[in-house]
Structure 1
């Protein structure tokens, strides 16, 4: 009995599956086939159906039971293009093609006057941006002259069509020798940072102070003259300064005296006493001689009159170790051990009177200011250098009192001088480099270093033609560096004196 019931259940399951798989009844929920949709649309178009009148379309799939039609019913294959006369083929177009078609249609419908104005506007833009109309430009042109910039400025990039040699392309880098032209011995030089023991005059004669004596060296003929020696061996020479003409030499001493010497006659013209301490700086302005002392005072001396002391300037609290009149004689610059730079007006030539006040007191330096130099080609520009605790070179505009630039040299600055042949600035250094450095002005880019001294450089001086600089150092040598010669190839070579050509090293005394 149990087996019979199981067989009946299995038979019922197979019957249900068979009924489910039969397609005798149309599927009402299934989507309409593509061939049925085309047939209905063709019947609707043929019968003239309108959108407002619905049509009764019956879908009957019982004609072909158990089969899925694979072809459109009918004896003849009908294409949509022949059957549907109102339809046409539309190709697929991307966005770019549509933009191009829109542009072409708008260009065709644009008036001719707009086209002409657009062309002229395009030509104007081309001339403005490129300098010429690119449609009419040629790569090579052999006729005519190259165009010249109307404002006269030089184009460093140079035009491709230009065949002329520009100054920038013809410029050559000069050779700066790292060895001195000559070396002279300077025995018993006093190693004192605050003293000014050398000066070079317009007649090509170098004055050097060695302890308590003054010697003159003729740079042309090589002759050495012993000018004077102090009577007291304990005294020493503390400063030297030539007049502009180079005929008179001022000598400052440690016994507070300023002596005036006639070099041609080798005779002391007068001794001027007004200071209470040693005179360590001197500077001339026509017939006025200015002197700075350890007391901090600056005295103006009129060498033409018996009462020579005409002014006293009070601005420094310590020793005045730097003193320079400007080339135009308008200002006097003073530097002291109190780290100050004072700018004084030229009131000395106005006659006697009370002590004048400084125009500017510059206090940016953090060390003693001995190095001072006026720019010879730019009025009112002063360069100053600080000592070991400062090591800075600062450039000032004395008219406004502003600092134009400041450069850290990493070494004690003992002297400064401008080289007008190449618009450069040369600095002398003590601890720790003991050398000379050439700087490009006003960028202060380092051009060259002149090494050779074993100890600190005390003073420097420029030759009359500004082609050579002399450096006096504590290693008891004076070295001459030929670093600023303008044109060494075209300039005729001077014959070297026999006294100098016989030996590379020579003693001053």
Structure 2
């Protein structure tokens, strides 16, 4: 349970004293100054600055007015002050302190000085950022890596219909499995029953990679970060490594006692999570089945993701826990227990180091954000439905979530405001599977309704204002096998 506390000031504590420093003139024969000079509003001596008045025979009041004008003009610009007793600059110029009416503050907002004859210490803040932008991770919604000073743009339109639908017979309706993944060479791997199929996005060609036989079934698939190596987790607790370009099995690794439902790659390191509650770290260059075993979860491991810098591994389990490990730990370094249902949905931000998103199951329904660098909980959003998957856009600071009970929807969010850009519907079962294309524009979703649906949701890397229409001409319904 999250609690908040406030501290009130002690009423017995004496009020702080304000200390001012002014100059003193003890005698008419000699002038003594303090260590610093702060002019008085009411009676600043213009002669102290050896500045001439606009009139050689000016009275002290007129000299004071001229000094006041020069001081305000230097601070705020002559056009903001106006003439004082006829004392005017010969050529009005823009202030060197931020232009005509003010300057931009460090957070990108405009601080405007009030018009003349108003309290000069008043200012107006104009902002388009929400309270969420005050979190440790603050940057523009659309530009990963920097703050934008551009005006607010109209919300980007996201097509509400998939541009392609594929039949996927025997695609299992099981929350704890991960049966869809998209490779960097643009090939989609799908586990259907006891077989793995490859769909080549460039040609729409379908290839059957493997058949595990009637005594086994596919529980997870995961592409290496680069190349054509595909890991296949099985219901018998084994992990097979395949060369997809040659449709050839390279090796089979053991170590788990029960099904392998989660896979995550980190360069040559391959992590696998199992129903036996353990995570195995495997170096595919070594001869052994695994190099270390991670213990911590009290139930099935159903979510695994390495951070983009390959330094941190996040794991989620049916024990409602989210753990963070490093490359050398065998016990979790960070433990997050706020979720109240299974944690399958995990996504690291590609834009900010240490920013992690996680989603909970039916009894939780929340997406939570974490700063693993400071070990802090940043935000929580109740989505209203079971959170099955999360993926972050590489092109803009947005993310997609897929959901199960009870709405079976797909939501595109803008971070950090977490405003909804689009809600996509069409699946009639829980949207249990999600993958993103290598160019970062398209997502594919899979559900127990035995369909795969392709959606254009993100802009291209080069132009964030033009929605990709790749594949839009190939509307229709085909079968993956």
User: Please, what TM-score do these two structures have when normalized by structure 2?
Assistant: 0.73
Q: How does 1:53-452 map to 2 (within 5 A)?
A: 112-125=59-72, 128=75, 132-135=80-83, 149=103, 168-169=150-151, 171-232=153-214, 234-347=215-328, 356-452=330-426
SS of 1:358's equivalent in the other structure is: coil
**Distance 1:423-1:270 versus aligned 2 partners, 3 A rule:** same
Name the CA distance, whole Å, in 1 between partners of 2:337 and 2:466. 46
Q: For the Cα contact (< 8 Å) 1:385–1:415, is it kept in 2?
A: yes
Gaps of 5+ in 2: 1-56, 114-147
Bigger relative CO (Cα 8 Å, ≥ 6 apart): 2
User: Please, what TM-score do these two structures have when normalized by structure 1?
Assistant: 0.69
Q: For the Cα contact (< 8 Å) 2:459–2:467, is it kept in 1?
A: no
Shift, 1:116, TM fit? 1.7
Name the CA distance, whole Å, in 2 between partners of 1:333 and 1:412. 20
Shift, 1:292, TM fit? 0.5
Name the CA distance, whole Å, in 2 between partners of 1:492 and 1:290. 34
Name the CA distance, whole Å, in 1 between partners of 2:321 and 2:107. 42
Name the CA distance, whole Å, in 2 between partners of 1:444 and 1:154. 20
**Distance 1:405-1:122 versus aligned 2 partners, 3 A rule:** same
Shift, 1:125, TM fit? 3.5
Q: For the Cα contact (< 8 Å) 1:362–1:401, is it kept in 2?
A: no
Name the CA distance, whole Å, in 2 between partners of 1:413 and 1:442. 18
- The CA deviation string for residues 27-78 of structure 1, in whole angstroms up to 9 with x for no partner, is xxxxxxxxxxxxxxxxxxxxxxxxxxxxxxxxxxxxxxxxxxxxxxxxxxxx
Q: For the Cα contact (< 8 Å) 2:441–2:456, is it kept in 1?
A: yes
Gaps of 5+ in 1: 1-109, 160-165, 348-354
Shift, 1:490, TM fit? 6.8
Q: For the Cα contact (< 8 Å) 1:123–1:133, is it kept in 2?
A: no
**Distance 1:154-1:489 versus aligned 2 partners, 3 A rule:** closer
Name the CA distance, whole Å, in 2 between partners of 1:419 and 1:456. 22
Shift, 1:225, TM fit? 0.7
Shift, 1:407, TM fit? 0.8
SS of 1:168's equivalent in the other structure is: coil
Name the CA distance, whole Å, in 2 between partners of 1:503 and 1:179. 10
Pick aligned residue for 1:473 from 447, 452, 462: 447
Shift, 1:273, TM fit? 1.2
Q: For the Cα contact (< 8 Å) 1:391–1:409, is it kept in 2?
A: yes
**Distance 1:438-1:141 versus aligned 2 partners, 3 A rule:** same
- The CA deviation string for residues 239-282 of structure 1, in whole angstroms up to 9 with x for no partner, is 01000113100000001110000001101111111100000000
Q: For the Cα contact (< 8 Å) 1:291–1:300, is it kept in 2?
A: yes
SS of 1:124's equivalent in the other structure is: helix
Aligned residues: 381
Q: For the Cα contact (< 8 Å) 1:373–1:418, is it kept in 2?
A: yes
- Does 2:458 correspond to 1:484? yes
SS of 1:235's equivalent in the other structure is: coil
Name the CA distance, whole Å, in 2 between partners of 1:227 and 1:460. 20
Instruction: Report the counterpart of residue 480 of structure 2 in structure 1.
Output: 508
Instruction: Report the counterpart of residue 438 of structure 2 in structure 1.
Output: 464
Name the CA distance, whole Å, in 1 between partners of 2:467 and 2:430. 34
Shift, 1:285, TM fit? 0.9
Shift, 1:473, TM fit? 1.1
SS of 2:369's equivalent in the other structure is: strand
Q: For the Cα contact (< 8 Å) 1:295–1:317, is it kept in 2?
A: no
Shift, 1:488, TM fit? 8.0
Instruction: Report the counterpart of residue 5 of structure 1 in structure 2.
Output: none
Shift, 1:310, TM fit? 0.9
- The CA deviation string for residues 92-146 of structure 1, in whole angstroms up to 9 with x for no partner, is xxxxxxxxxxxxxxxxxx97023221233145336645763323699x999xxx7
Q: For the Cα contact (< 8 Å) 1:183–1:479, is it kept in 2?
A: yes
Shift, 1:168, TM fit? 3.0
